[in-house]
Structure 1
């Protein structure tokens, strides 16, 4: 269970304009240098999984680009 202070720390670490929505692994590595609490890694993972912006830009939600096309160059 994450308390209010932990939630605020995660919100700031994840949504500030300096961090630009890091994934759970990067966010955990960054935060563990300064903070620690029981269940921190799991709490961060659950927090990031609930982020609507992160879910929209996940790789599996992107359209496949397909194969590269050859460009005709003028002579």
Structure 2
């Protein structure tokens, strides 16, 4: 509201005055955008609350239900069961910088499979 009004009007303490008016205005309070953190996914019957997305450029994508509390060992077990079993061992993995994927265990695990691991740059997952 302040940005719109400042193009046409001006008075001293304008920003503060507009804020006071908006707080008292019922219509303004009803249409005001809430600034809340996203709530996350609903839990499945098996209590999964997150999705692990694996994109294989040759065979397509896998979407695996996981829990936010999974450790690197849990991801390794799931990786063997759902990815390596179906598609074989990958040559190159580009991973985000989640704690479970930067852990020494995960690095050693991928090395034992013969996979090279590159960590992506923030906001550029294709790197």
TM bracket, shorter-chain basis: 0.3 to 0.5
Looking at secondary structure, tell me which structure has more helix per residue. 1
Give the number of the structure with larger relative contact order, counting CA–CA contacts within 8 Å between residues 6 or more apart.
1
Q: What's the TM-score once normalised by structure 1's chain length? A: 0.38
Looking at secondary structure, tell me which structure has more strand per residue. 2
